[in-house]
């Protein structure tokens, strides 16, 4: 469930002052009542997180470990790896000019329980805000070129089968699969990302998922 925007807490991590300023300005326009904190290094990001987990963390990948050090993708990747481990419920947007390096963390991203979206820094403002909105809603978005073909896991296929062949709702699917209903919702976001089905105004995302799953031959 999305947190009401008046109580949102956002943390933005970027070492480039002008980019950080631009991102914060953009978020302030979209979420005027939100509290936005910033960090420019791995260490300051960790310090900010120690004060409390935000509703969403937006981070660059190329950042320094400490003030005065050189920005490195490895530093951002390692920070993200530790965040995925320690904060399974944290909604994350990676906004970077190095998004392809995220393929190194693909297994960890695949098992992340909360929202996770990837926004190339070159995205227009409105598209960047869409990725923020999706992450806040707990959705998953990874760019197509990070995948060699459609990757689906057996449990995602089972969700599709139970929903579209047996006609079950999430609660019944959860009982059938012996998992929490929340886990079923997580499987939905994963399979929707694999099928590249994302929220669109006026369209029912479950029906879009069924259409796409049939087109790809995942269900008969």
Please give the residue ranges that form the binding site for other proteins (CB under 8 A). Answer: 16, 18-19, 21-23, 25-26, 29, 62, 71, 73, 97-98, 100-101, 103-104, 121-122, 124-125, 145-149, 151
For residue 71, the minimal CB distance to other proteins (Å) is: 5
Cα–Cα distance measured from residue 32 to residue 67, given in angstroms and rounded to the nearest whole number = 29
For residue 68, the minimal CB distance to other proteins (Å) is: 15
For residue 89, the minimal CB distance to other proteins (Å) is: 27
Complex with other proteins: residue 62 or 91, whichever CB lies closer: 62
Complex with other proteins: residue 145 or 220, whichever CB lies closer: 145
For residue 173, the minimal CB distance to other proteins (Å) is: 26
CB atoms within 10 A of CB 32: 9
Complex with other proteins: residue 82 or 101, whichever CB lies closer: 101
Label the pairing between strands 91-96 and 56-59.
parallel
Complex with other proteins: residue 74 or 85, whichever CB lies closer: 74
Complex with other proteins: residue 76 or 138, whichever CB lies closer: 76
For residue 14, the minimal CB distance to other proteins (Å) is: 9
């Amino acid at each position: 469930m999305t947190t009401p925007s008046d109580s949102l807490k956002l943390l933005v991590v970027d070492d480039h002052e002008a980019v950080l300023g631009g991102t914060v300005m953009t978020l302030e326009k979209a979420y005027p009542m939100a509290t936005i904190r910033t960090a420019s290094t791995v260490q300051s990001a960790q310090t900010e997180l120690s004060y409390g987990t935000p509703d969403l963390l937006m981070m660059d990948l190329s950042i320094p470990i400490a003030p005065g050090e050189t920005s490195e993708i490895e530093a951002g990747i390692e920070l993200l790896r530790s965040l995925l481990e320690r904060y399974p419920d944290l909604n994350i947007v990676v906004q970077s000019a190095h998004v392809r390096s995220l393929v190194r963390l693909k297994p960890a991203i695949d098992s992340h329980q909360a929202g996770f979206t990837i926004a190339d820094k070159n995205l227009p403002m409105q598209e960047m805000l869409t990725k923020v909105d999706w992450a806040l809603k707990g959705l998953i978005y990874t760019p197509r070129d990070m995948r060699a073909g459609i990757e689906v896991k057996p449990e995602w296929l089972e969700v599709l089968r139970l929903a579209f062949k047996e006609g079950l709702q999430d609660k019944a699917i959860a009982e059938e699969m012996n998992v929490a209903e929340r886990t079923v919702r997580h499987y939905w976001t994963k399979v929707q990302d694999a099928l590249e089905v994302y929220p669109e105004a006026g369209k029912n995302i479950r029906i879009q998922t069924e259409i796409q799953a049939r087109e790809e031959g995942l269900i008969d």
